[in-house]
Amino acid sequence: MKTGMNLLLWTDHVTEAQDGVLESIKAIGFDSVEVPIFNIDDHAAYKRLGGRLKSLGLSATAVTVMGGPEINPISSDPKVRDAAVAYLDRVLECGQQFGCEILCGPLHSTIGLFSGRGPTDDEFQYGVETLQRVSEKAEARGIRLAVEALNRFECYFLNTAAQTEAFIRAVNHPYCRMMFDSFHANIEEKDQASAIRSSAEETIHVHVSENDRGTPGTGQVAWDSFFDGLSQTNYDGYLTIEAFGLALPALAAATRVWRPLFPDAEGLCRDGLAFIKKNIGQ
């Protein structure tokens, strides 16, 4: 397995201001970083980042979200679905600039947008068709997609590993797979190990995230079950820590972080990585 650190702990757009963070992440012992791609116009910053990561010997994944109803992949409006494909292709283009291997996140639907009911068969089919088109773009750019289920308070379309696996199988494209996130699973799954086992064939990426979004290993996630599931399925992909703090007010508001969750970011990285390595070793 390889370990990673999601840069959303510090920023929603990586520039030279985060050079010191990258150096610290490498020095602590991580193998990779996860780069947020929300700004799809600043190719120069992503290209520069690629050079920086190469010099440090860090690989990269990326994360994005569908941020508005105008780019909703499950919209009944074909123009909106077209816009979703175009947006994700732009994100993938940005990822190419820094050698991104996997683009993860809730790529299936607009985050925080609710219909007042559960997902419909039509929405499922719209999502499948949209992600099939995006998968073709992803293959052309050499970046795999890892679709993420979110808990019911953040979306209504895909909430569980089983739902996401069914969606991925319907898309039926080698460049469209899924990811598993311990934070969302802590809310939605009956058992972490069972959920990991049931979706193992489609899972290519994993987020290690505590129930309060703080330091992994300090909260209530069923970590024994989580790591047992990974061991039982011989998972060999990235284990990337996703944590959120108060560094950026807009990001803190978006992730509903209203209080300090850990003493300092570097300590979270050190303790989180040590926690992962201890459990992998066991």
Query: 281 falls in which pLDDT band (50, 70, 90)?
Result: confident
Q: How far apart are CA 35 and CA 63, in angstroms?
A: 6
pLDDT at 282: 59
Domain count, the chain: 1
Q: What mean pLDDT is predicted for residues 221-231? A: 98
Separation CA 77–CA 252 (nearest Å): 32
Average pLDDT of the residues in 30-47: 97
Rg (CA), the chain: 18
Q: Taking 80 as the threshold, does the pLDDT of residue 158 lie above it? A: yes
% of the chain exceeding 70 in pLDDT? 100
pLDDT digits (tens, 9 = 90+) for 122-146: 999 999 999 999 999 999 999 999 9
How far is the C-alpha of 50 from the C-alpha of 55, rounded, in Å?
A: 9
Full residue range of the structural domain in which residue 170 is found: 2-281
Answer yes or no: is pLDDT of 214 > 90. yes
Of 81, 76, 133, 131, nearest to 105 by C-alpha is 131
Strands (E) in the chain, as ranges, are: 2-6, 32-36, 59-63, 102-105, 144-148, 176-181, 203-208, 238-241
Q: Quick one: pLDDT at residue 46? A: 98
Tens-place pLDDT, residues 75-89? 999 999 999 999 999
CA distance linking residue 39 with residue 90, whole number of Å: 10
pLDDT tens per residue across span 169-207: 999 999 999 999 999 999 999 999 999 999 999 999 999
Q: Is the pLDDT of residue 152 over 90?
A: yes
Tokens of 277: 């390595």
Crossing angle of helices 19-28/265-281, nearest 10°?
30
* CATH number of the domain residue 250 falls in: 3.20.20.150
The tokens for 149 are 């289920």
pTM for the model stands at 0.97
Tokens of 74: 């499950």
